[in-house]
Structure 1
C-alpha cells in the first residue's frame, strides 16, 4: 500500500498498459536521462517512460495517438493561418510551438498536396489545359546537307565499327542511315539552300574554326535538326552518325537539343515538370527574400529565422488558397477564384500579416508593404528566370 502511494499511476490506466507505473524505470531508455518513477514521460526527450515490450496493440495505439496529436496541431495551424494572418507566426516565435505544425514541414506538405491535386485534375480533365495543346501535325524538317550538296565540304568518313554496330542493333536506324548516306552521296546542288528546311552539315574541323559562341550555336541547331529528322534520342548514336567527337560535353549538348524540342512538342509536360519543382524554388528563394525583411524591420529586433518562418506561413496560406479555389474554378470552368486570390485576398492577407506580426502603424506598414512587394516581384522574376534555365538544363 505504501509503495502505491509513493508511486502514483494515471487514472483508469490498465495494468497491461505501457503507461502503468509497474513498467516505469528510473532511467530513460532513449536518452539515458535520470527519471523519477512518477515521471510518465522523459522531460528531456519526451519519450514515454516504459520498459514494457512493444506489442501489436501498443504499436497501433501509439500510432493513432500520434495522428490525433498531429490533427490537433493541424487544426490550430490551418485555423490561425487562414483567419488570423500574422498571429500564428507571432505565437510560434514567442514559444507556442507544440500548438502548431512545424512551418517548413507544413509548407512542404500543403504544397505537395496541392500539386498532387493539380496533377490529378490535369489528367482527369485535360480540356482545362487547352493552352498547352501539342501540335501533332508538325512535319519533320527534311535534311539537306548544303555544304556537301555544293561539293564544298569534306568527304564523309566511313562508318566506324561502333556506328555499324549501333546501326545494326537499332530498329529502323539501318534504313535511316542508308537514306542519309545516299542523300549525302548524291552531291547534287540544292535548288534553294536558303529554305527553312535546309541544314548545313558541319564537321568537327569546320566547327573548330568558329568562335566559342558560334560553335555552340551551330552545334545546337545542327543537333536539333538531326533529331527532328532521325528522332534518335541516344546522344552516342547520334554523334556517331554525325561523325562528331563523342565527348561528355557533346552528348550533353545533343541531349539539351532533344529536351528543347520536347518542350516545343509538349509544353504541357514541361509546365507540369516545372510546377512540381516550385516548392524547392520557394525554399531557396525564401532566405534571399528574408534578407529584405531583416533590413526593413531591423529595429524590431527580430531574428533572421523568425522572418523565414513568417514567409513560410505566407506561402502556406497561398497554397491552401489555391487548394480551396481549385474545385470551384474547375466546376465553373473559370479562373475567377484564383484571380480573386492573387488580386485581392492575397495582397490584403499580406498587409494584415505584416501589421499583426510586426505590430507597426498602418502608414508604416503600407510603406513597407509596397516596398516588399516590389522587391518580391523583381527578385522572384530574376530567380524564376534562373530557375527556368536550371530546370530546362536538367529536363
Structure 2
C-alpha cells in the first residue's frame, strides 16, 4: 500500500533501488527505502535538475513530518517541546537552531516580497528632502557672545576671589566663543573646518574619530571629490586602511540618504543573525538563575532558540492579517504584546518545573536582563553592520 503511493518516476520508486548502499556499501534489499546503517535514500537514479532543486528546497524549508510536529508543539506547548527535545524525544522535532534560521529567513523573504508589491511609492516620497543635521550654530554663538560682553558687577557679600573666578570664567568663555567664531569663519570660506593630521593625532580615540569623520564628510560635501586617494592627498592625510575606509563611508551615507527604506530593510534582514549570536550570551543568565536545576548550558540555549522561533512563527502568521488591516504591523504587535509575555511565562513553568511565585520572579528578572542586554548588543551589532554597508 505504501509503495503504490510513490510516483513511478520518483527517486524512491522501487525500480531505482539497489542491493547495496551507494554511500557506505551496506547490503540492502529492494524493499529498503533507506539504508539502515547510514540513513541515505536507496536509489540508483541519475540526479536531474528537478531532483536537485527538490532536495535543495526540502533541505532548507521542509522537515517532512518533523516540521508539522515542531510547529504544532512550538505554538501550543510552550516549554514542553524543549522538555521533550532535551529528554531525547527528538525524532519528531526539527533541530532548534536550523528551525530558527529557516523560520526567520523565510519571514524576511516573504516580508520583502509583500513589501515590494504593497509599497506606496509616491512622487512626494521620492522627492522628499534629506534632513541636514549639520545645522549652522553661528547665530547661537553670536547671541552667547553678546550676552557675555556685559561684564557683571561684583556681587556684594561674597569673597572677592569668587568674583574674580566668575570674571575669569567669563573671559574664558569669551575666548572659546572667539575660537568658535574663527572656526566657523574658516568653515564658511572653505566649506569645512580643516584640522592637520599632526593636530588630529593629538586627540584621544573617540574625539579623533568623530573629528576626522566630520572633516572627511564636510570635505566631501564641499569639494565633491569622490576619489579617495585624491581626497586624502588634498587633505595631506596618510592613506592608511582606516582613513580610506572612513572616507569611503561618504558613499554609504549617500546611499542611505537616497534610499533610507532600503537601508532599513538591510538592517532588519540582519535581525536573525543578531539573535543567533546574541542567544549564547543570553543563555548565560538562564544558566546562572537556574544553576540548581539539572539543565546544562546547551539545554538553556535550546530553550531560547525555541522562544525566538515562536516569535518568527507568530510574525509569519501575522503577515497576511496585517496586509488587510494596515501596513503598521498592528496584528503582530497585538499578538506579541498580549500573548508573548504569557507564552514566555508558561514556557518557563513547563520547562523548568518551578512554582508560580519563583517562576514569576525569574520571569521579571529575565525580561529586564533581556531588554538591557539586547539594547547593548544591538547597538554594537548594528553599528558594526552599518559600518560595512
Change (3 A) 1:60 1:274: closer
Contact 1:141 1:197 in 2 (8 A): no
Change (3 A) 1:64 1:257: closer
Matched, 1:250 2:243: yes
Change (3 A) 1:323 1:49: closer
Contact 1:220 1:253 in 2 (8 A): yes
Matched, 1:364 2:358: yes
Change (3 A) 1:197 1:99: farther
Q: Look up the match of 1:90.
A: 83
Change (3 A) 1:193 1:47: closer
**1:55 shift after superposition:** 7.1
Further displaced range: 345-354 or 15-24:
15-24
Q: Look up the match of 2:378.
A: 384
Change (3 A) 1:392 1:24: closer
User: What is the alpha-carbon root mean square deviation over aligned residues?
Assistant: 4.2
Contact 2:14 2:31 in 1 (8 A): no
Change (3 A) 1:217 1:85: closer
Please show how residues 160-309 of structure 1 align to structure 2 within 5 Å. Answer: 192-193=185-186, 198-208=191-201, 213-260=206-253, 262-263=255-256, 266-309=259-302
Task: Give me the whole-angstrom Cα distance separating, in 1, the residues matched to 2:48 and 2:252.
Answer: 51
Q: Look up the match of 1:346.
A: 340
CA-to-partner distance for each residue in 1:139-188, whole Å, 9 max, x for gaps?
A: 8989xxxxxxxxxxxxxxxxxxxxxxxxxxxxxxxxxxxxxxxxxxxxxx
* TM-score for both structures, normalised by structure 2: 0.71
Q: Which 5+ residue runs of structure 1 have no aligned equivalent? A: 1-9, 143-188
Task: Give me the whole-angstrom Cα distance separating, in 1, the residues matched to 2:207 and 2:103.
Answer: 46
Matched, 1:77 2:67: no
**1:359 shift after superposition:** 2.3
Q: Secondary structure at the match of 2:63?
A: helix
Further displaced range: 65-74 or 85-94:
65-74
**1:348 shift after superposition:** 0.8
Contact 2:192 2:222 in 1 (8 A): no
CA-to-partner distance for each residue in 1:84-108, whole Å, 9 max, x for gaps?
A: 2122222222223231222111111
Q: Look up the match of 1:316.
A: 309
Q: Look up the match of 2:24.
A: 31
Q: Secondary structure at the match of 1:300?
A: coil
* TM-score for both structures, normalised by structure 1: 0.70
Change (3 A) 1:332 1:64: closer
Contact 2:191 2:219 in 1 (8 A): no
**1:373 shift after superposition:** 1.0
Q: Which 5+ residue runs of structure 2 have no aligned equivalent? A: 136-181
